[in-house]
Every structure is written in C-alpha cells, then in structure tokens.
C-alpha cells in the first residue's frame, strides 16, 4: 500500500539529508526571519541582521523543510504519543504485567513511573521532568485513543492559526502547568498521566480566540466548547481517577495564552523571532525531559 503523497515528500527530504545531492548552481536565498532576498554568499541579512547560518530562525526554517505539511507539530506529537504507548506496553510486559486485552484499560504502574508519570513525592525530590514526560504517557488503549482523536480534532486548526512554533509552546506549557497544579494541591492523592491537560489547554486557547471574534459561528463554537468542558468536568467528578486539577490547570493556562497571543501567525521579524524562541524553549524542554527520564529509568524504586 503506497504512502500518502505528503509522507512520500517527507521521506524523500529525509533521504536527501543522508545521501546528499549533486552539484547545483548557487542561488539567492530568503532571510528566514524577515523574508528579504539576500545574496548568494551572504551570511547575514542586510535588512534585519539575522545570521543565515547560526540563528533560531535559520534552524527553524531548516526543520520546517524536513517536517513539512499543514500541521507538522501536531503530527510529531501524535507520533510521539503512539511511540511512547508502544514503549509503555513493552515495559508493562517486561515488568510482569499481562498482555492481550488488558492493554485496553491498564498499564503497569511501575512501568509508567519509570517512564515519567507525575507523582508528587518524586517531583518534590527534584524530578521536574515528569511534568513534561507524563503528557506523552497513557494508561491504556482507550485512554490514548480518546486523547489522540481529540488532538486531531483540535490541534491542526490552532497550529495553522498560531504557527507551529507558538503552537508547540502552547501545548507543552499548558500540559506541564496542568500537571504542576495537579501535583501541588492537597486534593490529588494518586499519580497521573495523559495528554488531557494539554488538550484542555488547546480548548482554553480556542475559547479565548472566540471571545475576540464576533459572528454567529464564533458564538456557536464557543458555546460548544464550553459545553464540552462542563461535560468533562462532570465526568471527572463521577470518576475519581480523572485528574480534574490537571484539566483545570491546563485550561486556565491555555485561556491566558490565548488572550496574550495574537490570533494569527507572526507577521514581522520581531514576532517571528519571539515565536521561534518559544518554540525552541518548548522543544528543548521536551528533549531534556526525556533525556532525564532515560538516565533515571533503571534507578531502584524507593
């Protein structure tokens, strides 16, 4: 079965990174920050002064060429969640957990702990990376299935609205803030995992956007989103294991960022550089968090 066209293009670009390409005639370039046309041998933009070799803008432009598509960050988040679910399943079996249909509703707690779930005593001992790694972990196939369907329904529109860099920051920050609220309140008594806090952050941002735009469609969308949040809250009250504090923290953080962010892509070099900075902060936070998780994975449990 052939790959979809967009993935064929991505695969070809990834191959080109390793095999190189034949000799080509040098040609003028566009500044990744302001979009100005610069010379063939230029190393710095004559309009905005951005380095064409070593800058966040240049690195972000290169990455956007590799991970192209209408919503590349959403696709990466989806793939990361699926990969971590596969790792969780293998770790569950290794830890003595049952395979088969048990994966539908219950992953091994020890496996989730080693992979970075949120647990207040561990965070109090300095394992802050759990605030990030936990949003890529899920307790079962039903859990990740519902969350990933919500991700694909919500995220592409927001990534198109904000741009990939700001969207990545929005997702990571709201998810981590939700887990921070969950971990440091006296009412949470159980460990927690899942992308729900970040997803509620996306909902909060969408509601913030609708409050700044008029029209019947925006009012209807806002009403529908608020109804969904209320229903989720009622479900969380009925099912004690649902982490309402992470949901609420993520929602509030998303609403605040939705009020702060301009509801459009960056338009000028300053806005682009700020967006790139936020995106790199979020991306490096995710990479560093998983690096700490890997380093501490085999440490003895207390």
Q: Report the pLDDT value the prediction gives residue 94, as an integer from 0 to 100.
A: 78
127/38: higher pLDDT: 127
Model confidence band, residue 185 (pLDDT cutoffs 50, 70, 90):
confident
Of 33, 60, 138, 247, which one is the catalytic site residue?
247
Cβ-contact 268, 211 below 8 angstroms: no
Instruction: Answer yes or no: 247 catalytic.
Output: yes
Of the candidates 33, 75, 164, 196, the residue annotated as catalytic is: 196
Taking residues 81-89, report their average pLDDT.
Answer: 93
Question: Is the confidence at residue 12, as pLDDT, over 90?
Answer: no
* pLDDT at site 133: 97
Question: Over 90: is that where the pLDDT of 61 sits?
Answer: no
Span of 27-41, 50-64, 69-83, 88-102 with lowest mean pLDDT: 50-64
Q: Which CATH architecture has domain 72-296?
A: Up-down Bundle (1.20)
Mean pLDDT of 12-37: 56
Q: For the chain, give every domain's residue range.
A: 28-66, 72-296
Both tokens of residue 246?
A: 């992470």
């Amino acid at each position: 079965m052939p790959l979809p066209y967009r993935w064929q293009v991505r695969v070809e670009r990834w191959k080109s990174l390793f095999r190189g390409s034949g000799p080509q005639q040098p040609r003028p370039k566009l500044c990744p920050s302001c979009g100005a046309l610069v010379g063939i041998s230029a190393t710095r933009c004559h309009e905005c002064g951005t380095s064409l070799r070593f800058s966040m803008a240049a690195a972000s432009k290169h990455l956007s060429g590799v991970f192209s598509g209408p919503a590349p960050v959403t696709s990466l988040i989806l793939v990361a969640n699926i990969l971590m679910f596969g790792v969780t399943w293998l770790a569950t079996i290794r830890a003595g957990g049952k395979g088969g249909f048990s994966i539908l509703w219950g992953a091994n707690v020890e496996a989730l702990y080693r992979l970075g779930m949120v647990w207040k005593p561990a965070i109090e001992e300095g394992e802050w990376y759990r605030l990030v790694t936990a949003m890529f972990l899920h307790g079962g196939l039903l859990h990740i299935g519902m969350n990933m369907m919500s991700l694909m329904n919500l995220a592409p529109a927001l990534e198109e609205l904000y741009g990939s860099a700001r969207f990545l920051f929005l997702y990571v920050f709201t998810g981590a803030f939700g887990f921070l609220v969950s971990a440091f309140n006296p009412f949470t008594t159980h460990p927690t995992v899942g992308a729900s806090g970040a997803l509620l952050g996306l909902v909060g941002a969408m509601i913030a956007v609708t409050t700044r735009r008029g029209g019947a469609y925006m009012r209807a969308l806002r009403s529908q989103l608020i109804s969904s949040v209320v229903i989720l809250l009622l479900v969380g009250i009925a099912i004690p294991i649902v982490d309402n504090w992470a949901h609420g923290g993520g929602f509030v953080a998303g609403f605040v960022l939705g009020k702060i962010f301009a509801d459009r892509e960056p338009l000028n070099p300053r806005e682009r550089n700020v967006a790139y900075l936020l995106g790199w902060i979020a991306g490096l936070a995710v990479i560093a968090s998983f690096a700490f998780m890997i380093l501490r994975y085999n440490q003895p449990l207390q």
